[in-house]
Amino acid sequence: MNRKLKSLRQLLLFFILAAQALFNGAKAQDTDPTGTTESSDWTDVIRASPYWVSQGVYRNILTIRQWVLEESAYCSDSDRHILFDMRGQFLSWLADGPDSQHTQKLLNETRQSLFQRGRVDSWVPGSDGQTGYPFALSCDQPHVNLDEAIARYLGTLPPDRLWGSWDDLTFADAEQPGSLHDALVYVFDTRSEQGRVNLPPAIRHHIAGQILIESGGQARAHSAANARGILQLSPTALSDCQIKPDNYWHRLAQLDCALRLTAQNARNIRPAFDARFGNLPDDKRKRLFNLLLIQAYHGGAARVQALLEDETLSRPAAYFAQHQERFTAGDIAFGIVFHNLGRDRLGLASLYYVADVQLASNALCSTPRLSKTEFCEWK
């Protein structure tokens, strides 16, 4: 009897170990094959995370970025930091210390506490110039005042309206100047009719969101990186659009150039996109493509193209394409970036930019003037 009991126990142990090995093998197929379970560096956390964690990440990142842009919820006091996990889920907040060194100490203590309480599976201390995990986001960040930016964009006050000519474009006149919104629609429709750009209508309200985020609608916006105008175009981009220095801040020229660059980005990434995501349902495919165009405006079409077809960088995209029914278009757009953070100069700012543009577009399309117009049908 004892021998039989011992044999049964050995057999049970065999099945338990086999099942565990099978589970671990299946899980490994859902993670970055170059990853490690060690968490000595924040990128190790990224590499070890399974791709399925990107479910809901788009909505979650939009939520915490909305707190920053609107100075609301846990960011109602700008002297705070919020912490979130790899799914973009809010975990905790803390009041900033008297200086950055003390604040970093508080962040690391909170990270360790969250790990000890089982809120996250690992933690990585951050330092000056070094990202920690869980991720931290300061509520005190340079950002536009959305209400003021929207007012400028809609030409609420006379100084924000415009008129003039650029190339073969002529918009409004001195007696009846128009808004930035009307100028964007005019330039987009004109270039589309001429066949000079071939972009989906939905991209218009994304470009409107970019205007709000890039410059707050201020014509003379000038960044430390020497980007200029309402769409913060670099001198190189402006030169590529054959715009002379005297016209760098010309708002019609800026709109025309941004549309031209966006159309060029679309042409460059379209073949790789269709090869990777051509099997997606029509609406999801269009939505994803538009989000990647925003990403391309921020970080370059070559980087987005690499996310779709580079042997290493495209592994997340391959997974999401195969299991697309589990993810929204936003989750896929963020997931292919998130699982490559730390590579090819990709950082959290790459996600924040797309989120901020979407939030600004949504805010614009919530205004009484535009909420029920065809312009906002794609929001």
pLDDT tens digits, 287-325: 999 999 999 999 999 999 999 999 999 999 999 999 999
What's the full length of the chain, in residues? 379
Answer for the pair 292, 333: CB distance below 8 angstroms, yes or no. Answer: yes
Give the tokens for residue 282.
């029509």
Give the tokens for residue 152.
């400028």
Residues near 35 by Cβ (< 8 Å), separated by ≥ 6?
44, 46, 47, 48, 49
Which domains, from first to last, does the chain contain?
51-138 (no CATH), 146-376 (1.10.530.10)
Cα separation, 78 vs 139, whole angstroms: 5
Cα separation, 40 vs 2, whole angstroms: 48
At residue 354, the pLDDT reads: 97
The model carries a pTM of 0.88
At residue 169, the pLDDT reads: 97
Cα separation, 125 vs 248, whole angstroms: 44
Answer for the pair 139, 79: CB distance below 8 angstroms, yes or no. Answer: yes
210-233 per-position pLDDT tens digit: 999 999 999 999 998 899 999 999
Below-70 pLDDT ranges, the chain: 1-40, 378-379
Give the tokens for residue 287.
């939505």
Residues near 19 by Cβ (< 8 Å), separated by ≥ 6?
none
Cα separation, 137 vs 39, whole angstroms: 20
Which runs of E-coded beta strand occur in the chain? Answer: 80-84, 90-95, 135-138, 164-166, 169-171
At residue 379, the pLDDT reads: 56
How do strand 169-171 and strand 135-138 relate by DSSP bridges? unpaired
At residue 224, the pLDDT reads: 87
Cα separation, 358 vs 334, whole angstroms: 13
Residue from 310, 319, 312, 327 nearest 272 by CA: 310
At residue 1, the pLDDT reads: 46
Cα separation, 53 vs 88, whole angstroms: 9
